[in-house]
Structures are given as C-alpha cells and as structure tokens.
Structure 1
Amino acid sequence: MNSAAGRDKKGMELKVLQMNIWQEGTMVKGGFDAIADEVARLEPDIVMFSEVRNYHGKMFIPRILHALKERGKTYYGENSPLDVGVLSKYPIEEQAPNCPSEEDAGSVLKTRIRINGKMVVVYSAHLDYTHYACYLPRGYSGVTWKKLDAPVTDGLEVEKSNRESMRDEAIHHFIEDSKKEKGSIILLGGDFNEPSHLDWNEKTKELWDHHGAVVRWDCSTMLAKDGFKDAYRTKFPNPVTHPGFTFPSDNELVAEQKLSWAPDADERDRIDFIYFKPLKEMIVKDAVIVGPSKSIVRSVRTEENSSDRFVTPLGVWPTDHKAVMVTFYIK
C-alpha cells in the first residue's frame, strides 16, 4: 500500500496536514509550486487547505492534483464553492458544505473518506477573520487593526468582542453535525482566526503581550466541552514550552510589514488547529509545526526558542502561516 496510513497487524498510522495557503500561494513568488512541493515531500494521508480562491475561474483542487501527479504523487480531491479544500490519498466518497461562506463569515467543508474499511469524516474550516479579538490585549483593534490608546486586558471584555464574530456559530454548526457521525473517526482542521483557551491561561498571562489577560476563547472552549481534543495540545500540553505558534510566520520572500498586522506588538498565536473526537483505539503519535522556525515579533524576524519541533521548508515557503501536521495511530 503506497500510503503513510500503512497497516500492521495491530493498526495503522494516519498523517494529517492542515495548511493556510495564503490566497492559493499567490502572495509569494513560486508559491503554488511550493504548496505542491511541500505536500509531495510530507506525503500526508489527508490535507486540509484554507484560503482556496479559484482565481479567474481556474479551480484550485484540479490544479494541485495535477501538480502532485507531476511529482509522482496520487491524491484525490473535489471542487467546492467554499474557500477551503481537502486532499486525500484515498478516494472521496462524499463531500458537501457544512457551513457555507456568507460575507466572509467562514467556511466548513465536510468530506467522507473510507480508509482501510474505517469511515473518516474530515471537516476543513476557515473561520471568520473579523473581530480578531486576540489583538485587544496587545493594544490593537481586531476590527480596524489600528492601534488603541491602551491594551484591553479584561478577559470578559475580550470574550464579548470575540463573540461578535461568526466563528462560534460555525463551530456550533459543526458540533451539531458531527453528532451524526458516531463511530467514525472525526477530524476538524483549519485556520480558526482565534486562539485557544489552553494557550491563554494563568501560565501564559504575562507572556507574548497577553498583558495579564486570561481568555476562554469560544471555539476551543465549545469543542472541549463537547469532548473534542486539540491534537497539538494532546501531544504537548504545556503552552509555555510548546506554544506552537502558527501566525504570523516569517517568510523570507516577503517584507516584514506585509507579514505583521500589529507591528509594535508580539502578536504570535496558535490559530491553526487539528481537532479529533477521541476513540479508545486512536492516539496522537506525533505532532509538528511545518514552516519556518522564525516568526514576526514587533516587525522583526525572530527565531523561535521554544521546544516546538519544526519541519522547515524545502525552499520557498508559500504562506504567512505555519502549517500543523499530526500523525495518529489507530489500533
């Protein structure tokens, strides 16, 4: 079987990649080819893309499938009207919008894939980018992106602003839909445009310009309450040693000012996630950050000094996010 989801007598591995591709790689010279190069190198079983645009009527999924075929890799995928996409090493049985995009309210695409006789239900998400409330404690508006007179550090006030986005509605819709899939492997991955409550707690309140704020971010809190697990935090529960930042990533081909939205702040956050519904036969074997080991901090390219593990790019990195790759072992 030509797949990372190789089988032994006890079980199989399932490698999942989540990647924001920054307007289909168009923001970086050679970005589209770099997306194909990275997928071909990493060989994930399932890929979840955010920021699929289908520019000029050219559908992204067929283009990336062709580019991978040219690199000797066979994947399956289907077109979608949403700004997200799914690739799979296994044929797709069914795909449909779970949360359609309306005025940038966000997208969730549901894809059913059968792997070695097991149903895997994949939800690829790109949530509402407005009311980016994690900038408030850093002294910036999450609506206008302009500098504030002072940071907003009251957690309840930050949560109230965050709730004005459509992100919580999209996650509520996902949770309700996922209840239909009992017994299946359920995966949710995407750019949430919102951090996790696991990363904004008492341990981290004086780090990364949180300025004392402890915030129960809606999406992660709702998912945890419904029993979903954050794969990266399952493997690395300590946010101080393993912050797992995915945005803003350094990109050596892009000027710093185009990578930062809060130029005088440490705006680093983990906003790209892979979640799973726990099954007794399913464990997180490995989790890594894919992308440059540098981030943008106060408009400066800065090497990360955390204990996070990075799979650094082959050459061109196509995006302003880092990607997340998780390997599951299914007994």
Structure 2
Amino acid sequence: MKSNILRYAMLVCLSASAVTVSCSESKSGDTPEDPGKLTAITLTPSPLSLTVGQSAQLTAAATPATASLEGLRWSSEDSKIARAGDDGTIEGVAVGKTTVRAKCGDVTASCEVTVTAAPIVLEKIELSVSIASVATGKTLDVTAKLVPENAAVEGPVVWKSDDTSKATVDQNGRITGVAEGRTVISATLGSVSASCDIEVYSPAAVREFTFLQLNLWEGIANVNNGQEALIKQLAELKPDAASFCEFTSEDNARTILTAVAAELYKRTGIRYTYTCKGGSGTRGLLTRHPVLSTDAVNGNLWFYRTVVDFYGQQMAIYASHAYHMYYACYLPRGYGDGSSPYGWDKLANGPITDIDFILDREEKSGRTQIAKDLTADTRAQQAQGRLCIFGGDLNQPSHLDWTEAMKDKYEHNGCVVAWPISTTCYADGMKDAYREVYPDPVTHPAVTWPVNNKDARKETQWAAEADERDRIDFVYYRPDAKFAPKKAQIMGPSSMISKSAVVEDQFVDKAEELIEPVGGVWPSDHRGLFITFEVQFPQ
C-alpha cells in the first residue's frame, strides 16, 4: 500500500515538471510572432521647416520594411500653425511650432514642424524717371526703388545701357550722355527689371517745340478706324506735346492714350507718356519729354496743367475743353444756342444780331472764367521761369475773327463781337498763336469746325441751313523773350460743311497752311492745330 502511494506521488511531480517546461519555452520564442507586424514608423524629413504658405511632403517608412501602412492617418497638433493632408502634405499656415503625427494601428510617429514668415518677394522696380534727357558730356542720376522696399533680395541692382555709344550708366544709376541719340537704361535684380528711355542731346541756342491740339470727338467713337488715323498723324508729325479733349471719361482717355503711346513707340522709337483729367469734358496730354508735375487749376473745371522738361527749360502746358451750351455764335446765324428757351432749333424770328444780348447769353455759359483762370495761372507759372502754352476747344469764337472786315462772312450777319475769352486773354497779354502768325482772318480764316469727314458715322454739322463754320479751337501762349510761334498750321480735311453742303476751304498756300490727314482718314469733326514754337536757350 505504501509502495503504491509513493509511486502515485512521483507521477504527480513529474507531470507538474513537464507543464512548467512547456510554458517557459513558449515565452522564449519557440513559437515566433508574425514577422510582418508593424513595430515602428519613420518620418522624413524630420524635423520639418516651412514658411507661411509653403507646402512640403512628409514620407512615412515602415519598420519592418515589409509591414503594411494601410490605414495610415495624419494629424497636426495645431492646424492653425500647420495643416496635415491625408497624403502627408504639410502646409505652413502661421508662424509658430507644432507637431505632426502619423498613426497606423497602435504605432505612432511624430515630426516637429517649425513655420516661419515667408520671404517678401520683390514685385517690381520703380525708376525715378520713365523718360529723360541728358546733354552730351553731362550726367543724370536715376534711382531705383524696390517694391516692396523690404523684399528679400540677393545682390545689388544691376544697371545697363542698351547702347553705350549714346549713353553709359554706372552701377549707382548715374547716366552720362555720350552722343546724340536714344538708348534704354535698365535696372535689374534677379528676374525683375525696369527701364527708362534716355535722349541724349547736344546743347543748342535755339530749338523748335512743336505743339498739336485736337478735339477727339467723343473719344474717337464716331469715325471708322479713328484711332489708327490718329496714330498715323502723330507718327508723321512726332509733336513734342499734343493736347486732346472730348474723351468720354478718364478711363476712355487712359485706354486711348495708353494704346496710342505704345504704338508710337513701336513705329517711331520715341517714348511718349501721357496725363489726363476729367472736368468739363475729359482732357489729355501726350508728350515725348519728362513730366515733372500734373495739377488741377481752380478745381479742374475747365483745364489742367502739366509741366514738362524741354531740354532743361520747363514748359507749363494746359489742356482744355469748354462747355458747349449757350453757343451764342449761333444766334446771328439764326439758330438757337442750345439752351432754354431756344434749344438748337432754327429761330422762328430769324437771326439775333443784338450784340449785348449775344454777349449776355455767352456769359451764361461761364466760359469767361477759363480766360480769368488761365491768365492768372500762366502769370504765376511764368514767374517761376516756365514757358506757357494752352490748347483746347473753347466752343467760342475769337474777337480777332468777328471783326469789321469779317462781319458779312460766314453768316456773321453784320455782327462785330468782342468774344470774352479772347478779349480777356489779350487784355492780360496772352496771344493766339495762329493769329500771331496769320493776323488777317480774311485771307486766313482757319475755321476748325465742322469738317467734312467722309468716314464719320454721323453728321458733323448741327445747324443744317446755316454757314456755321468758325474757328473755335485755339492755341494760346504767354509771350516771353525766350520763345514765340514760328509757324502755324491747321490739320484735317481741306473741305468743310456749310448749309449741309461740302465746301472747299480757301488757302493762300495750301501746302504750307494745311496738314492733310495721313492715309486720308481723319479722327474728328474738328480740325486741329499744329504750332511750331522757337525756344531760346542761354549759352
């Protein structure tokens, strides 16, 4: 019995020992885990630096390499600093630091992301001049302004002259005139560049300044190919300055003048710039010389002033367009002046020849203020050493044309009228450039409206049964010992409209007095003026 008990006890011990050994072997790896199980994730690059608005791709690598990253999810601890996309694209949002995590199952990896301010990109370079002139042997300093000024850039601005035989430029922007001609000076930094056109001239005792004046008839809207006609005329004449009026708006003026200036540069190689302002009819000015300032005069109602540098001599140039109502020169012709009670209709009781009544109606237009403002401003400009030229459609004749000798011409019906703009200007010493060259209105009437325009989309005349031809477009100047008109010409068709009929105008020397349309197309219902002034320079 004892022997059996002892034998049973030994079997129990042996069984217990076998169980213990089996558990121990399992823990030691005799039965290995899945070799493809994900144990770690590595993110590259890490850490990550971005600028605001910049994006970068984080790449996730599995350990072991055979492990699957299916179901990988990206997140940002602070998405206000950096956002994490589903594909690991990280975008910098705001300056700061945050942590981006990639998680797959219960395995997570993290990457510190630092976001800094984006470098400020250079948008453009602004030069102190767009066009300029310099005498041979003289220098001109041009400055380059970076926009924005705190842009992140590498290296200095690089200056270059396209034609060093005309002008050179050093790396400080100092231009030296070498020989007469034109060149382009450029300033470049990285991929950003700006340029200015430079004219090199030889000092001279006398120079010609050519000035063109023209009404553009509702922004050249009434003539087929009117803008092309204007460009051709300007390319042929190459005026130093051109005054325009009757744009429909400032936007219309900018659109036309921008296109015209660009095309003139292509065709002539001369860089024109422009100014424009609204008021009583939008006015504009093109010039091939540096613009120093543009200012309104008396609220800019009637005209404005642009100051240009003409080879060292400053010129104050005025562009004008006057109100067209109370057009009192229609009254002697038997038509209403456009205002109540007449309108533009033919007068039921015939022509009005009462001079005092005519002038009273004219005064209601307010146009006399043009002369008052002009004379006052030109005196002030002349006191600063500037030469003064005014151009515009004044919608009023001149006392120099409605004289005793002219009282029975152009249906003046015996009227001799001291029209107030011209009389006020002359009383203050200003002069009519055309009449200074051609003082006799009988031999040189130079009527400017209405022209016979074969390409017009509508009639140019307003008074169908009258001879309404008149000179209502002018170039005035303030006399100065340094300059005077040398030559005066009218521009446009040779024929006008009178009583609804085409009438060939009279000329003493047509080739000398009239500049006809280049290509045969004229952009206006008015003729224009082309005045050549002679300017004296101190030696």
**Is the TM-score greater than 0.5?**
yes
CA spacing shift, 1:161–1:7, aligned 2, 3 Å: farther
Change (3 A) 1:21 1:145: same
For residues 272 and 193 of structure 1, what CA distance do their matches in structure 2 show? 7
Q: d(CA) in 2 for partners of 1:177 and 1:230?
A: 17
* 1:1-331 mapped onto 2 (5 Å cutoff): 9-54=204-249, 59-72=255-268, 73-82=270-279, 83-100=282-299, 107-143=302-338, 144-148=343-347, 149-181=349-381, 182=383, 183-254=385-456, 258-307=459-508, 309-315=513-519, 316-331=521-536
Unaligned runs of 5+ in 2: 1-179, 183-200
Task: Tell me, yes or no, if the aligned pair for 1:90 and 1:114 is still in contact at 8 Å.
Answer: yes
CA deviation map 1:17-50 (0-9, x unaligned): 0010111211101111111111111111010001
Deviation at 1:145, TM superposition (A): 1.1
Asked if the contact 1:245/1:270 (under 8 Å) is kept, the reply is yes
Deviation at 1:63, TM superposition (A): 2.5
1:87-136: CA deviation from partner (whole Å, max 9, x where unpaired): 111011100222546xxxx5301100111111100011101111001100
AA at the equivalent of 2:533 = F
Counterpart-to-counterpart distance in 1, 2:474 and 2:202: 26
Give the 3-state SS of the residue equivalent to 2:371 in structure 1. helix
**Counterpart Cα distance in 2 of 1:198 and 1:294:** 22
- One-letter identity of the residue aligned with 2:332: P
The amino acid of 2:215's aligned partner reads N
Question: Contact conserved, 2:431 with 2:479, CA < 8 A, in 1?
Answer: yes
Q: In 1, are the aligned partners of 2:250 and 2:276 still within 8 Å (CA)?
A: no
Distance 1:211 1:79, change over 3 A: closer
**Bigger shift: 206-215 or 174-183?**
174-183
- Please tell me whether the aligned partners of residues 84 and 107 of structure 1 are also in contact (alpha carbons under 8 angstroms): no
Q: Max radius of gyration: which structure?
A: 2
Cα 1:222–1:54 change in 2 (3 A) is same
Does structure 2 conserve the Cα–Cα contact (< 8 Å) formed by 1:33 and 1:67? Answer: no
**Letter paired with 1:188:** F
Distance 2:275 2:482 in 1: 29
Distance 1:69 1:91 in 2: 15
SS at match of 1:221: helix
1:276/1:55 CA distance change after superposition, 3 Å? closer
Distance 1:231 1:7, change over 3 A: farther
SS of the counterpart of 1:251? Answer: coil
CA contact (8 A) 2:275 2:306 kept: no
Post-superposition CA distance 1:222-254 (Å, at most 9, x none)? 100110010000000000000010001110113
| Aligned partner of residue 445 in structure 2, secondary structure | coil
- What letter corresponds to residue 76 of structure 1 in structure 2? T
Superimposed CA distance per residue, residues 139-176 of structure 1 (whole angstroms, 9 cap, x where no aligned partner)? 00112111002101122211111111021122212222
- The one-letter amino acid of 2:360's match is K
Q: Secondary structure at the match of 1:234?
A: helix
Report the number of matched residues. 325
- Partner Cα separation in structure 2 for residue 60 and residue 81 of structure 1: 14
Tell me how far apart the structure 1 counterparts of residues 258 and 362 of structure 2 sit (CA, whole Å): 36
Q: Aligned with 2:297: secondary structure? A: strand
Q: For the residues of structure 2 that align with 1:326 and 1:202, how far apart are their CA atoms? A: 27
- The corresponding residue for 2:62 is none
Q: Secondary structure, in 3 states, of the residue corresponding to 1:119?
A: strand
Which segment is superposed worse, 301-310 or 164-173? 301-310
Residue identity opposite 1:165 in structure 2: S
CA RMSD of aligned residues (A): 2.0
Match of 2:106 in 1: none
* TM-score with structure 1 setting the length: 0.93
In 2: Cα distance, 1:43 partner to 1:9 partner: 20
**Structure 1 residue 7 displacement after superposition:** 6.9
Distance 1:124 1:65 in 2: 17
Quote the Cα distance in structure 2 between the aligned partners of 1:237 and 1:79.
Answer: 32
Mapped partners of 1:59, 1:192: distance in 2: 24
Greater strand share, 1 or 2? 2
1:78 deviates by 2.6
Q: Which runs of 5 or more residues in structure 1 are unaligned?
A: none
Per the alignment, in what secondary structure is the counterpart of residue 223 of structure 2?
coil
Identity of aligned residues (%): 34
Moved more, 78-87 or 246-255: 78-87
**What amino acid does structure 1 have at the position aligned with 2:518?**
L
Q: 2:525 corresponds to which letter in structure 1? A: D
Render the CA deviation track for 1:67-89: whole Å, top value 9, x for unaligned: 32232332111343340011111
Residues 128/99 of structure 1: CA separation in 2 closer, same or farther (3 Å cut): farther
Secondary structure of residue in 1 paired with 2:352 = coil
Q: CA deviation at 1:66?
A: 1.8
1:100 and 1:70, CA in 2 relative to 1: closer, same or farther beyond 3 A? farther
How far the C-alpha of 1:283 sits from its partner, in A, is 2.3
Structure 2 CA distance, aligned partners of 1:88 and 1:233? 24
Offset of residue 10 of structure 1: 2.6
